[in-house]
Amino acid sequence: MAFPEYPFYSWVVTVPLCTSDQRARLDKFYEGQAEVYDATRNGLLRGRETMLSLSAAHLRLLRQKHPKKRLVWVDIGGGTGYNIEAMDQYFPISSFDAVYLIDLCEPLLEVARKRFKKRGWTNVTVLCQDASEFHLPEWEGADPKGSVGFVTLSYSLSMIPSFYTLIDRIDYVLSPEDGLIGVVDFYTSGKQPSLHDKAIGGVSKECGWLSRWFWQIWFDFDHVSLSPHRRDYLEYKFGTVKSYNGRNRFVLPFIVRIPYYMWLGRSRSCDVSAFCHAFEVEGGNTVGNCSPSPRSLMAANPIKESEHIPSLEIGEPAIPLANETTESSTSRLDTVVNITPPLSSFHYQIKMPWRLPYYEHPVHKEFRTFMYSFTWEDPVEDMKYLKLSRDDSMLIITSAGDNALHYAINAKPKRIHCVDMNPCQGHLFELKLAALHSLNFDDFFAMFGSGRHPNFSSLLSSTISPYLSSSAYQFWRLNDDAFSSSFYRHGYSGIALRFARFLFRITGLTEDVERLCRAQSLQEQDKIWKEKIRPVLLNPVVVALLKNPIFCWNALGVPMNQRKMLLEDGSAYEFVRDTFDSITSTYSLKDGAYFYLLCLLGHYTRDSCPAYLTRAGFEALKANGCEAMDAFRLHTDSLVNVLHGLSPASLTRAVIMDHLDWFAPGSKEVEEEVRELHRALAPGGIVLWRSAGKKPWYREVFKRNGFTVTIISTRGSKAPIDRVNMYASFWRAIRM
């Protein structure tokens, strides 16, 4: 069906024989259970309220550009009107100019009519129609193209036989500027994810072979089709805004798991040029894809091929012609792709100016979650040597994003490229940026200061979600319990914090730890440390665990090469002693040495926390429409690949933390990375790093690649190099 060729208003709505049969079947099936339908489906039809809450959050932002434009909602297959009534708590029904419920089952629609009459809604109309041929009364004598602002399908797409026709019809009537479509339904997937799945953030979409076939056969008995075609065509026809793949454990938890998904989309003809600035870097190069021609993107982008939007494999023809050859299919597909390029989900976000597109790589599957829930390096010490200004462009390791936010608060550089190969670190930093944009200070501090928020799951969908990429949203939906207790005891770094908590509990030190964190003077703090806590932490058993390579990596994030560097300069006992002894006599945990306060308590306090968690820092980031945060660009890639994509001399500062400690001596990767740093940095550009070794081998690599290298400080037994003091040395290299 090709809408543009046949004027919509000239169609005559008829009910074909197959529709009559379907209507009779539905009426007979639901006649005796219509009144109890909602009560018996709550556990089975998961995600309906979340989809509505998610939709409402995005609708509010979309409506900001066209506040006076008429807003029409069509709920297709809405049955009893449950969705419309539920939506009222997220987006008032009175805010819609018109709401239409379309369904073919009269017994269910009778329940809806009673429901709406009871609520007194005069802008809601119930229509008994075939969904694939739905026709609104207001369309009489007019072309309805682009006249609908919101469409929902809640567990109905899988029940509609003519789904190609329906989806084409929705595409025609949905507003290209600010239209939104929301879907929640059961599904099964193909055997392997396509490149398109990876482009739109199809995390956890794959189903096992038993689930893939069992649920298709099981639901087929009730004329519900779970074949992948419906969802594939939906995601082909519209640009993905949000995608979530879950498992319903309604029956026999952990054994029977029905795959279901929530999905939001926009018209592919919507203007994505407004979001292209997020993919631009200094010097005119482009990271990511915003050109209307996929082939020109392939030719123009300087970064590796795996980062580009796939062209032919993404947009397969929805309904191939019966006698079409492979050659003609490819030719036809070229035309389709060039008219409506199937860009990644990153391009269709409503408000998400930071995260750059990335596509699932085998290495990403090695990261089940974030490694660092907080950043170990001391940004106050960094600022002394970076001499940052508004004219600077930085490249840093993302980590948890704490230091990046510190730089933005105190210097507001024009660009901060945050790089991390672990996509979950990007998800974490995205969440912080999105929460900064959308929450008040108390909610924000509850999440990242106190480390817990009782309503995080609700806030995620109803408030934070429009500022998150689809991939980040899915990650936090799957991990929405992270803020139910202490957030900082999650992730790999949380293992160490949980171990410390367990150790203090079994040794009876919990109260002493709390006294240490409340100490009013350095003398009191040092005394508690030396008399109570130090003997336990420097116990031979604890020291042996701390130097264990498995514990070092999984709990402390210390890889083998860095561990080797650490032990070359002394024993594990000396490392622990030199790290902590000078901290307690120099910095107050209660009034600013927040790194160890967090480790000991599992949360920050209002008086001891990173700059972004202070009210002044929060307000600085929110000022002028969050202007300071416009500087961020989040890359999910290796440092060297990102540097390849940057123009020569486009950077002025780089903070690479302890990143190079991870490589073995003589590594070719380090040589290449330092060369790329030299190319991307302007003359006089500064690189800062810290090392577990007092004389890291790679300092010579910087020297022979055009840098002057100086040591800023070396850790001793008495003087800490900063408020963390975890590293043996602190270095600066200046590009000649």
- pLDDT tens digit sequence for 375-425: 989 999 999 999 999 999 999 999 999 999 999 999 999 999 999 999 999
**Who has greater pLDDT, 492 or 177?**
177
3-state secondary structure of 502: helix
Residue length, the chain? 736
* pLDDT classification of 286: cutoffs 50, 70, 90: very low
Region 16-32: mean pLDDT is 55
Mean pLDDT of 557-578: 78
Domains of the chain: 21-271 (3.40.50.150), 274-343 (no CATH), 362-437+609-735 (3.40.50.150), 510-601 (no CATH)
Q: What is the rounded average pLDDT of the residues 199-212?
A: 74
If one counts every other C-beta atom within 10 angstroms of the C-beta of residue 294, the result is 21
Contacts of residue 53, defined as CB under 8 A and 6 or more positions apart, other chains included, come to 90, 458, 461, 462
Task: Please report, rounded to a whole number, the percentage of residues in the chain having pLDDT higher than 90.
Answer: 57
**Cα(74)–Cα(101) distance, integer angstroms:** 6
297-311, 379-393, 498-512, 713-727: range with lowest mean pLDDT: 297-311
pLDDT of residue 191: 72
Q: Is the pLDDT of residue 14 over 60?
A: no
Residue 729 is classified by DSSP as E
Question: Residue 733: what pLDDT?
Answer: 98
Q: How far lies 15's CA from each of 18, 31, 77, 285, in Å?
A: 8, 21, 16, 55
Sequence-separated (6 or more) residues with CB below 8 Å from residue 236: 196, 315, 316, 318, 342
**What are 134-183's pLDDT values in tens digits?**
999 999 989 999 999 999 999 999 999 999 999 999 999 999 999 999 99
Per-residue tokens: 628: 């300071």
Quick one: tokens of 715? 């850790």
Phi, psi for 199 (deg, rounded to 5): -70, -30
Over residues 228-263, the pLDDT tens digits come to 889 999 999 999 999 999 888 766 555 567 889 999
For residue 609, what pLDDT band results from cuts at 50, 70 and 90? Answer: very high
In angstroms, how far is the first alpha carbon of the chain from the final one? 64
For residues 726 and 382, what is the distance between their CA atoms, to the nearest angstrom?
15
Q: What is the Cα–Cα distance from 609 to 597, expressed in whole angstroms? A: 9
C-alpha–C-alpha distance, residues 423 and 671, integer Å: 25
Q: Please report the pLDDT score of residue 277 as a whole number.
A: 42
Q: What pLDDT was estimated at residue 435? A: 97
Q: Is the pLDDT of residue 477 over 60?
A: yes
Sheet containing 124-128: order of strands: 124-128, 98-103, 72-76, 150-154, 180-186, 258-267, 238-248
Name the nearest CA neighbour of 344 among 204, 245, 200, 247: 200
Q: Which of 288-292, 314-318, 425-429, 528-532 has the lowest mean pLDDT?
A: 314-318
Question: Per-residue pLDDT averaged across 43-63, rounded?
Answer: 91
- For 720, counting Cβ atoms within 10 Å of its Cβ (0-12 exposed, 13-18 middle, 19+ buried), the class is buried
Strand partners, 182: 152, 264
Residue 312 pLDDT: 27
Burial 166-176 (b: 16+ CB within 10 A, else e): bbbbbbbbbbe
Those residues with Cβ within 8 angstroms of residue 582's Cβ, 6 or more apart along the chain or in another chain: 716, 717, 718, 719, 720, 725
**pLDDT of 282:** 42
What whole-number distance in Å separates Cα of residue 606 and Cα of residue 592? Answer: 10
pLDDT category of residue 494 using cuts at 50, 70 and 90: confident
pLDDT at residue 280 greater than cutoff 80: no
DSSP-derived secondary structure for 668-712 = HHHHHHHHHHHHHEEEEEEEEEEESSSS-TTHHHHHHTTEEEEEE
pLDDT tens-place string over residues 424-460: 999 999 999 999 999 999 999 999 999 999 999 999 9
Of 370-379, 504-513, 571-580, the range with the lowest mean pLDDT is 571-580
- pLDDT of residue 293 exceeding 90: no
Distance CA 676, CA 302 (A): 14
What is the tens place of the pLDDT at every residue in 640-653? 999 999 999 999 99
Spatial CA neighbour of 179 closest among 314, 290, 53, 69: 69
What is the mean predicted confidence (pLDDT) over 520-528? 95
**Cα dist. 190→85, 194, 198, 206, 330 in Å?**
35, 8, 13, 7, 21
pLDDT at 285 over 80: no
* Window from 151-160, 198-207, 282-291, 588-597 with minimum mean pLDDT: 282-291
pLDDT of residue 77: 93
pLDDT of residue 16: 39
β-pairing, 393-397 with 651-655? parallel
Q: Would the pLDDT of 290 be above 80?
A: no
Closest CA to 224 of 185, 171, 250, 167: 185
Six-digit token string for 30: 């639901």
Which segments within 58-112 are labelled E, that is strand?
72-76, 98-103
- pLDDT, residue 64, reads 87
CA distances from 237 to 54, 119, 160, 172, 178 (A): 20, 36, 17, 11, 16
Q: Which of 578, 558, 581, 560 is nearest to 570 (CA)?
A: 578
Q: What is the pTM of this model?
A: 0.85
Q: How many CB atoms lie under 10 A from the CB of residue 398?
A: 26
The span from the CA of 577 to the CA of 581, in Å, is: 6
In this structure, what are the phi and psi dihedrals at residue 731, rounded to the nearest 5 degrees? -130, 155
Give the pLDDT mean for 18-37: 57
The pLDDT confidence band at residue 332, using thresholds 50, 70 and 90, is very low
